[in-house]
Amino acid sequence: MSTLDLKSVSKSFGDAKVLHDIELSIKDKEFVVFVGPSGCGKSTLLRIIAGLEEATKGTLHIDGEDVSDAHPVDRGISMVFQSYALYPHLSVFENIAFPLRVAKMPEAELKERVARAADILQLTDKLKLKPGQLSGGQRQRVAIGRSIVREPKIFLFDEPLSNLDAALRGDMRVELSQLHRNLQATMIYVTHDQVEAMTMADRIVVLNAGRVEQFGTPMELYHHPATKFVASFIGQPNMNFLPAKVTGTGTTGLAVQIDGGPALTLPVETSSAAVGDSVEVGIRPEDMAQGSGGLKLNVSVVERLGGTSITYGTTDAGTRICAALDGVANVREGETTELVLDPKDCHVFDASGTVMRRLQAPELAN
Ligand SMILES: Nc1ncnc2c1ncn2[C@@H]1O[C@H](COP(=O)(O)OP(=O)(O)OP(=O)(O)O)[C@@H](O)[C@H]1O
Ligand SMILES: [Mg+2]
């Protein structure tokens, strides 16, 4: 059992408030990813969990026990950093064994733990080598091995793959997911790469300027983003946002006129909206298809990737659009095409960037 609960955790550096009342409950064996732009507070939050940084306010419980004031080594947490500090003069074996040597663990148990970690990380035949004789990915695995031998309750990773090249990052992503399955441990992983977040996480925490924007499964965040920030951060290529004006409200949904585009009725709850309000209609590139009576697109660039044609252009109102069309789609740079928007694929954001709640099926029937 290794649960983690943060209650109202805030952090200030001098006058600068960098974390605002963070509330999180992380379940046993969960793989949780903190994602957000540079400077949003991901590392600070992780360091507070590890005990390397003190929260200005709030509490932290591990397995229900208050560890807010506990020393880092007493929290049963282990952290892997972006820049893995391996000792170049020590062998892989001794690098992995290092924390156990510090703890003066008996030799037999130490050997057993290092062997088990090396086996999990496929480093068994590298134990006698020095870090300088390893690839970047292998070195990162040694750093992870050093965490594993401590048998922590919770693993923390701060952008451990960002120094690796793209192909290796892809491989390590899969390895880390496997590691999580093998160890059955609670893991918190920080990245600003939304693809890493989507592929590895059981649940994702989206941080924006020191606040939790949304905490949910990758599919919840993709299909039901709570804010425009989450909608624009999750999904590749990014969601499109079309400025629109409200022309009607009622039980069947919100009637809007898209700037330079069609009029639509969108199945969202309208009690907070009024005729004349400005809203934005969000639609993902992969939810757009060619068809008549839709949104006119002045095509500027077509990227043919084989299976899809990533098509960029602007609407008649000058809004930039990206549509992921069929690989053989009949689109040409410098020409126009029409895109149909299915109301059920549209997300509507009010002026504050908050999503307007979708109508449920029974409400729609009335
Ligand atoms: N020791 C410190 N003293 C003062 N300000 C700090 C300190 N550490 C972090 N900050 C500030 O806190 C904010 C959050 O920093 P943090 O390192 O947590 O961001 P991050 O989300 O990890 O960013 P990145 O993706 O670039 O690693 C930043 O504005 C940063 O300048
Ligand atoms: Mg950071």
> Tens digits of per-residue pLDDT, 320-358?
999 999 999 999 999 999 999 999 999 999 999 999 999
How many percent of the chain have pLDDT more than 90?
A: 77
186-191/31-35 β-pairing: parallel
Mean pLDDT of 142-151: 90
Q: Is 40 in the pocket of ligand 1 (CB under 6 A)?
A: yes
Q: How confident is the model at residue 361, as a pLDDT?
A: 63
Per CATH, the number for 240-365 is 2.40.50.100
Name the segment(s) of the chain with CATH classification 2.40.50.100.
Answer: 240-365
Q: Is 191 in the pocket of ligand 1 (CB under 6 A)?
A: no
Q: Distance from CA of residue 151 to its chain's centroid?
A: 26
pLDDT tops 80 at residue 163? no
CATH fold of 4-233? Rossmann fold (3.40.50)
Instruction: Tell which wins on pLDDT, 119 or 363.
Output: 119
Residue 275, Cβ density class (10 Å: 0-12 exposed, 13-18 middle, ≥19 buried): exposed
Q: Is 41 in the pocket of ligand 1 (CB under 6 A)?
A: yes
- Which residues neighbour 107 within 8 Å (Cβ) at sequence distance 6 or greater? none
Q: How confident is the model at residue 363, as a pLDDT?
A: 57
Nearest Cα residue to atom 28 of ligand 1: 39
3-state secondary structure of 332: coil
- Tell me the per-residue pLDDT of 224-255, one tens digit each, with 9 for 90 and over: 999 999 999 999 999 999 999 999 998 889 99
Average the pLDDT over each of 141-155, 164-178, 271-285 and give the range with the smallest value: 164-178
Q: Taking all residues of the chain, what is their mean pLDDT, rounded to a whole number?
A: 92
Distance 140 CA to ligand 1 centre (A): 23
Ligand 1 pocket test, pick from 11, 40, 52 with the greatest ligand atom count within 8 Å of Cβ, gives 40
Q: Is 87 in the pocket of ligand 1 (CB under 6 A)?
A: no
Distance 92 CA to ligand 2 centre (A): 27
The answer to whether the CB of 269 falls within 8 A of the CB of 306 is no
Residues in the 5 Å CB sphere of ion ligand 2: 43
Instruction: Tell which wins on pLDDT, 46 or 141.
Output: 46
Name the segment(s) of the chain with CATH classification 3.40.50.300.
Answer: 4-233
- Tell me the per-residue pLDDT of 125-137, one tens digit each, with 9 for 90 and over: 999 999 999 988 8
